Amino acid sequence: MAKEPMLKFVNVGRDMPEKRDAGDRKEDFLEIYGDFISAKAEEQASRCSQCGVPYCQSHCPLHNNIPDWLRLTASGRLKEAYELSQETNAFPEICGRICPQDRLCEGNCVIEQSGHGTVTIGAVEKYITDTAWENGWVEGIKPHTERTESVGIIGSGPGGVAAADRLRRAGLQVTVYERSDRAGGLMTYGIPSFKLEKDVVMRRIDQLKESGVEFVLNCNVGEDISFDALREKHDAVLIATGVYKSRDLQGPGAGSEGIVAALDYLTASNKVSFGDTVAEFDSGALNAKGKKVVVIGGGDTAMDCVRTAIRQGATSVKCLYRRDRANMPGSQRETQNAEEEGVEFVWLAAPKGFAGNPVTGVMVQKMRLGTPDASGRQSPEVIEGADYVEDADLVIKALGFEPEELPKLWNADGLEVTRWGTVLADFKTHETKLPGVYACGDIQRGASLVVWAIRDGREAADAIVEQVNAAASVAAE
Ligand SMILES: Cc1cc2nc3c(=O)[nH]c(=O)nc-3n(C[C@H](O)[C@H](O)[C@H](O)COP(=O)(O)OP(=O)(O)OC[C@H]3O[C@@H](n4cnc5c(N)ncnc54)[C@H](O)[C@@H]3O)c2cc1C
Ligand code: SF4
C-alpha cells in the first residue's frame, strides 16, 4: 500500500524568508518554531526508506553519507549526525541551503522517484549543522602537528576555502589571497542573502581565521603581487579564482544607461545586506525599487536577479529567455519560486537592441525552437515580423560567465588553458602543467556549483599534501 506523503519540512532560509515581514527575523522564527522544526527534521529523516541503493549519495558530488545521517537524525542523535555529515563536507549548512537538490541528491531519492515526494535532504543537512553551531559542536581546526611548508591559495570562494580547511587540518601553513574586500567569493557577493545568509558564510571564514588561515584581502594577484612571487614564496599554489568575465549583449543601444551586469547588481545588493553604503544603490543605478525590470538570461544568476528585484520593490519584473521553459539551464525549483513571487517569464524571446538612453525598453525578437544542433539541443530561430518592445527602465544582463585570461594577466606562459579558457589541470589531482601549481572550482571546470568547488578544493588539497609529503621524505633521505 502506498504511504501517505508526510507534511513538508519547513526549510528556514529557503521556504520562509520571502513570506516574512521585514522585522520578522529568522531568529524569532526559530525561537517560536524551534521545537516544531526539530520534530519535522526527525520526521523527514524517518521518511528515508534506507533503500540500500543510495542514489542520493551517489548523486551528491561529495558522496555524503546521507542515509546514515538521516537515520541518526531520525533517532534524535543530532551530534553524531553532524559529525558524520561534516566528515565529507566542509560546509554542510551552506550546501544544505543552496545546492540545487532537485538536480542532485533529492532528485534521485527513491521516494521521489516513486511519486511520494523526496526526503528534504538539504533541509535536514542544514538543520543538523545549524544545530551543531548553536550547541557549540562545530570546532575550529587544531592540527596534530604544525608543519613549515606553506600553500598560497588565490581566491577565497568555496573551492579556495574548502582547500584551506583541509590543508590546515594537515598542519600546513595557508595564506589565501583575495582581491575583494571580503572573503567567500560568490557565496559572499554573488548568491543573494535570502538564499544564503551572509553571517553563515562569515562564521566559516572567521573559524578558518581562528584556525590559523591567513587571509590577505584587497590583494589582486597579477597586480598587487605577481603570480611568480607566490610560487617563490610557497611550496604549492592553488588557483581558485572562479570565472568573472561576463558574456555581453550586442545591438543598438547596448551601452545605454540603465543596462547593468548581473554581478554588479547582485554585489551591490549583497554589500547593502552587510550594511555597507553603496553609492550606485543609493543613486538608483543598481536598485530596482519602483522600476520596470527586465532580466535577460535563463540560468540561476538570472533567477537570483529577478528574485532580488522583487524584494527591492520593483513595479514589475520580467525574465526574457530565448528558449522555452523545458530548455532553460536554471533550476526548475528556482523558476517556480520566482513565479510564485510574481516574476513573469517571457519564453522564446531574445533581445535585439534597446530603446532610449537611459533605457526605456528592450527590442524583443520572438523565437521558435528549430532543428536540433550537433549536441541534440534545438536551436532558437527568429520568427520574422513578430518583434515588439518590452518596457523597461532597468535591464539586467545575466548571460553567464567565462574565465579571465589568466596566463596573459599573470604573465604565466606555462599555465595552459583549455579551448574554453579554463585552467588545464588533472581532474583528480588538480595539478596544472606548472609543477606545484593546482587549480580547482569554476576556473578549472567552468561556471558550476558551490558543492563541486568544495569537492575540487578537497581533492586539490589532498594532492598538495601528497606533494609536500613526498618532498619531505626525499629531503629526509
Ligand atoms: C549569481 C550566482 C548565483 C549562484 N547561485 C548558486 C547556488 O545557488 N548554488 C550553487 O551551488 N552555486 C551557485 N552559483 C555558482 C557558485 O557560486 C560557483 O560555482 C562557486 O562559487 C565557484 O567557487 P570558486 O571557489 O571556484 O569561485 P568563486 O566563488 O568565484 O571565488 C573565486 C574568488 O577568487 C577571487 N579572485 C579572482 N581573481 C583573483 C585574483 N587575481 N587575485 C585574488 N583573488 C581573485 C574572487 O574575487 C573570488 O572571491 C552561483 C553563481 C552566481 C554567479
Ligand atoms: S551537499 Fe548538496 S547534493 Fe550533497 S547531500 Fe548536501 S544538499 Fe545534497
| Cα distance between residue 10 and residue 226, in whole Å | 48
Residue 300 falls in which region: left (phi positive, over 0), alpha (psi -120 to 50) or beta = alpha
The pTM of this model reads 0.91
| Cα distance between residue 433 and residue 419, in whole Å | 15
Q: What is the pLDDT along the chain (477 residues), one digit of tens a residue?
A: 333 333 333 333 333 333 333 334 444 444 444 454 667 888 888 888 888 888 999 999 999 999 999 999 999 999 999 999 999 999 999 999 999 998 899 998 888 888 888 889 999 999 999 999 999 999 999 999 999 999 999 999 999 999 999 999 999 999 999 999 999 999 999 999 999 999 999 999 999 999 999 999 999 999 999 999 999 999 999 999 999 999 998 899 999 999 999 999 999 999 999 999 999 999 999 999 999 999 999 998 999 999 999 999 999 999 999 999 988 888 888 899 999 999 999 999 999 999 999 999 999 999 999 888 777 778 889 999 999 999 999 999 999 999 999 999 999 999 999 999 999 999 999 999 999 999 999 999 999 999 999 999 999 999 999 999 999 988 888
Q: Ligand 1 mean position to 125 CA, how many Å? A: 22
| Cα distance between residue 229 and residue 231, in whole Å | 5
Query: Which ligand ends up closest to the CA of 122?
Result: 2
Cβ–Cβ < 8 Å for 147, 107: no
Instruction: Give the ligand 2 atom nearest the CA of 89.
Output: 1
Give the Å distances, CA to CA, from 413 to 227, 280, 465.
Answer: 11, 38, 26
| Cα distance between residue 249 and residue 241, in whole Å | 24
**DSSP summary character for residue 19:** G
Say yes or no: CB of residue 128 within 6 Å of ligand 1: no
Q: Ligand 1 mean position to 187 CA, how many Å? A: 7
pLDDT at 21: 37
Say yes or no: CB of residue 121 within 6 Å of ligand 2: yes
Which amino acid is it at 379? S
Grid coordinates of 88: 565529507
| Cα distance between residue 262 and residue 245, in whole Å | 11
Query: Which ligand ends up closest to the CA of 161?
Result: 1
Closest-CA residue to 13 (of 455, 337, 276): 337
pLDDT at 37: 62
Which amino acid is it at 217? L
Say yes or no: CB of residue 156 within 6 Å of ligand 1: yes
Which residue matches cell numbers 571546470?
A: 445
CA contacts within 13 A on the Cβ side of 24: 11
Q: Ligand 2 mean position to 91 CA, how many Å? A: 10
Cβ–Cβ < 8 Å for 302, 398: yes
Say yes or no: CB of residue 60 within 6 Å of ligand 2: yes
Say yes or no: CB of residue 157 within 6 Å of ligand 1: yes
pLDDT at 12: 36
pLDDT at 54: 87
Q: Ligand 2 mean position to 283 CA, how many Å? A: 39
Which residue matches cell numbers 561556471?
A: 447
pLDDT at 315: 98
Query: Which ligand ends up closest to the CA of 175?
Result: 1
Instruction: Give the ligand 1 atom nearest the CA of 220.
Output: 42
Grid coordinates of 405: 585570461
Say yes or no: CB of residue 415 within 6 Å of ligand 2: no
Cβ–Cβ < 8 Å for 429, 476: no
CA contacts within 13 A on the Cβ side of 223: 6
Closest-CA residue to 353 (of 444, 279, 259): 259
pLDDT at 202: 98
| Cα distance between residue 14 and residue 296, in whole Å | 24
Q: Ligand 2 mean position to 55 CA, how many Å? A: 12
